[in-house]
Amino acid sequence: MAEARAPHVALLSSPGMGHLFPIAEFTKRLVLDHGFTATIITYTDFNSTTQLHSYFTTLPPSISSLSLPSVPLDDLPPDTRMEARLCVLAARSAPSVRALLLSLRSSANLVAYVTDIFGADTFRDARGLGVPTYMFFTSNYFMLSFMFHLPTLDATTSCEFRDLPEPLQLPGCVPLRGVDFLDPLEHRADAAYPWVVHMARRFRDCDGILVNSFLAMEPDAARALSEAEAGRPPVLPVGPIVRPGSGGSGSECVAWLDGQPRGSVLFVSFGSGGSITCEQTKELALGLESSGQRFLWVVRTPSDSVANAAFFGIETGAADPLDCLPEGFLSRTRSSGLVVPNWAPQMEVLAHGAVGGFLSHCGWNSTLESVVHGVPMIAWPLYAEQRMNAVMLVEGAKVALRPSTAGEKGLVGRDEICKVVKELMEGEGGKVVRDRVLELKKAAIETICEGGTSYSALAGVVKKWKYNVEA
Ligand code: UDP
């Protein structure tokens, strides 16, 4: 008798570590805990990262990876935003995705197709082929609720969102001012704007949405989206899904942290691609120094653009990241701080007992990583949906403090930095967010263990894919 073939899932991820890491971790769960085999489909364009290549070599053998053929993007104006580039890349790659799904359907026991948000243009094709089609949402309920509402907002308003007279009140969410909407929507005339609205419309074309968040983090928003609504696919929490650390030894950062007192170090990092200006780098350095707190700072080459090519792991070979630091800063802070250029093993750092706070750009993976390690944050959003995340973390989940900005360029001055850093590390406000993040850490662990909500939601989806039955 022929052996039954393992159920197979195809997953499409856009470039950028913030999407590839969680999609690959989700795939690992399917393969290691539920007996699936899987193919992760990536784009050839924008995927040159060393970190990603080494990470992919650690994936279990029953996960294959395939790259889509490269597509020409050289007709796009040079100033086209990253989000618009990704949308065009995804749209132009849709025929190749269809061909790949057809081929997997005949060669494997293909039971489901999963994409991140940039794959939304392939939902209809995949369902047309009879393949159950899901979105893995790499952000939170707040952002998902916003995306569901965006087509209506687009149709019923005509001003720039920053000029909306009232904050947006999404069901179960904290009020959101127009200035905090995700940044590709900042200007209606920008090429990225219609693409984001178009993607938001496509969200309704899949069979279900799996959110990398969890109930305790956003209880009211999650409840609102779990109510059935005609035309809206079911929404299920499967998070927090984060990368495991690699054990914590062998890096300069961990060796340095080993010598610091418990809970005393502020980790400062802006994700895989965030940059701040030279002027802001100087203010941050002087603020950290005058706070007198210990810090571990991942310094990037300053840039006027908040998201840079490093987001895709593309080494720019640009100026030395440390060039903008104030004269004498490194020697003056040698005993209390460590500055590392470009990259740190973030999971190992956050897991280290010496780390007591995280000044973060509020990327959703960084946020989840901080929460599962019980580390409170200073919210310093830069691009994508990070301002929305910051609002939710400060006003909703209450696990972060946020410094005020000044002037048109939104500079955060050294005194403000000093104040917020001291408050997080030693003040009453810091104690409140630390207690709260420890509660959420406990809930995060419980929810992904047997009997937890995220565990059960994933088990239900798995059952549906494997046996074609409702959980
Ligand atoms: N990351 C890391 N070291 C760094 C910078 C980033 O390990 O120096 C990882 C981080 O742990 C997270 C991912 O890169 O898993 C960044 O994802 P996130 O969603 O936080 O932000 P993005 O880079 O997508 O803006």
pLDDT value of position 360: 98
Position with higher pLDDT, 182 vs 3:
182
Pick the atom of ligand 1 nearest to 347's CA: 11
* Rounded average pLDDT over 50-56: 73
pLDDT tens digits, residue range 259-312? 999 999 999 999 988 889 999 999 999 999 999 999 999 998 888 765 555 555
pLDDT on residue 132? 96
Residues 109-130, mean pLDDT to the nearest whole number: 96
pLDDT given at position 201: 96
Model confidence over 142-180: pLDDT tens digits?
A: 999 999 999 999 999 999 999 999 999 999 999 999 999
Answer with the residue of higher pLDDT: 471 or 40.
40
pLDDT band at 1 (very low <50, low <70, confident <90, very high): very low
Tokens (6 digits) for 368: 């989840």
State pTM to two decimals. Answer: 0.94
Candidates 3.40.50.1110, 3.30.70.890, 3.40.50.2000, 3.40.50.10790; correct CATH number of 252-444? 3.40.50.2000
**152 exposure class (CB count in 10 Å sphere: 0-12, 13-18, 19+):** exposed
Say yes or no to pLDDT of 193 above 50: yes
Mark 243-261 as b/e (b = at least 16 C-beta within 10 Å). bebeebeeeebbebbeebe
Name the residue of 365, 367, 371, 382 to mutate for ligand 1: max ligand atoms within 8 A of Cβ: 365
**pLDDT score, position 190:** 94
The order of strands in the sheet holding 294-299 is 337-341, 294-299, 265-269, 355-360, 377-379, 400-401
**Mean pLDDT (whole number) for 348-352:** 96
φ, ψ (nearest 5 deg) of residue 126: -65, -45
Do domains 7-238 and 252-444 share one topology? The answer is yes
- Ligand 1 center from residue 468 Cα (angstroms): 36
**What residues does each domain of the chain span?**
7-238, 252-444
> What pLDDT is attached to residue 314?
47
> Residue 116 catalytic?
yes
Q: Which CATH entry fits the domain spanning 7-238: 3.40.50.2000, 3.20.20.70, 1.10.3720.10, 3.40.50.300?
A: 3.40.50.2000
As a whole number, the mean pLDDT across the chain is: 92
Instruction: Report the sign of the C-alpha dihedral through residues 332, 337, 338, 339, in that order.
Output: negative
In order, the DSSP letters of 48-81 are --HHHHHHHTTS-TTEEEEEEPP---TTS-TT--
pLDDT at 53: 73
Would you place residue 82 in the very low, low, confident or very high pLDDT band (cuts 50, 70, 90)?
confident
Pocket of ligand 1 (CB under 6 A): 16-18, 21, 243, 269, 271-274, 298, 343-344, 346-347, 363-366, 369
Q: Which of 19, 352, 361, 373 is catalytic?
A: 19
CB burial of residue 158 (10 Å; 0-12, 13-18, 19+): exposed
pLDDT value, residue 311: 54
